[in-house]
Amino acid sequence: MDWLLAPIDPSRLHEVGWVVSWHGRAMVLAWGLLAPLAVLIARYFKVMPGQDWPRELDNQVWWRSHWLGQTLVVGLTVFGIVLVFGGARDLNLHGRLGYAVLVLALAQVGFGLFRGTKGGPGDADIRGDHYDMTPWRVTFEWVHKLAGYALLVIAMITVALGMWHANAPVWMWLSLGLWWLTLAIAAIRLQRRGYAIDTYQAIWGPGAEHPGNRRKPIGWGIRRPSGPQPGE
Residue 229 — very low, low, confident or very high, per pLDDT cuts 50/70/90? Answer: very low
Residue 169: helix, strand or coil by DSSP? strand
Alpha carbon distance 189, 108 (integer Å)? 28
Residue 88 — very low, low, confident or very high, per pLDDT cuts 50/70/90? Answer: low
DSSP 41-82: HHHH-SS-TT--TTTS----HHHHHHHHHHHHHHHHHHHHHH
Choose from 87-96, 123-132, 189-198 the range with maximum mean pLDDT: 189-198
Residue 226 — very low, low, confident or very high, per pLDDT cuts 50/70/90? Answer: low
Percent of the chain past pLDDT 70, that is, above it, reads 94
More confident residue, 16 or 115: 115
Displacement of CA 93 from its chain's centroid (Å): 23
Residues 6+ apart with CB under 8 A from 96: none
pLDDT > 60? residue 108:
yes
Overall average pLDDT of the 105-131 stretch: 86
Residues in the chain: 232
pLDDT > 80? residue 162:
yes
Residue 230 — very low, low, confident or very high, per pLDDT cuts 50/70/90? Answer: very low
Q: What is the pLDDT of residue 13?
A: 77
pTM: 0.88
Q: What is the pLDDT of residue 8?
A: 84
Residue 126 — very low, low, confident or very high, per pLDDT cuts 50/70/90? Answer: confident
All structural domains of the chain, each given as residue ranges with its CATH number in brackets, are: 11-214 (1.20.120)
Alpha carbon distance 31, 151 (integer Å)? 10
Q: What is the pLDDT of residue 150?
A: 96
Q: What is the pLDDT of residue 9?
A: 83
| Contact call for residues 204 and 57 (beta carbons, < 8 A) | yes
Alpha carbon distance 199, 6 (integer Å)? 46
pLDDT > 60? residue 231:
no
pLDDT > 60? residue 91:
yes
Overall average pLDDT of the 166-172 stretch: 92
pLDDT in tens, 25-72: 999 999 999 999 999 999 999 999 888 888 899 999 999 999 999 999
Alpha carbon distance 81, 133 (integer Å)? 37
Residue 90 — very low, low, confident or very high, per pLDDT cuts 50/70/90? Answer: low
